[in-house]
Amino acid sequence: GVARGWADGIVRDSDWMNLCRRQTIIAPTLRVVAQFWTLRV
């Protein structure tokens, strides 16, 4: 019940943190790729 809901909340938070961390890596990479692509085309 409560413990399981709390554990699920932690798992969800950690997934969210991983997603945010991934975004901080992916976003600048996409920006660089987009700039490179527009220069190429």
What pLDDT was estimated at residue 10? 75
Banded pLDDT at 20 (limits 50, 70, 90): confident
Amino acid at 19: L
Share of the chain above pLDDT 70, in %: 100
Q: Determine which helix (DSSP H) or strand (DSSP E) holds 9, and give its type and residue range.
A: helix 2-40
- pTM listed for this prediction: 0.42
Distance CA 5, CA 32 (A): 41
Q: Please name the residue that has the structure tokens 């997934």.
A: 15
Q: What b/e string do you get for 13-31 counting C-beta neighbours within 10 Å, with b at 16 or more?
A: eeeeeeeeeeeeeeeeeee
Banded pLDDT at 15 (limits 50, 70, 90): confident
Range 29-33 contact pairs with CB under 8 angstroms and sequence separation of 24 or more: none
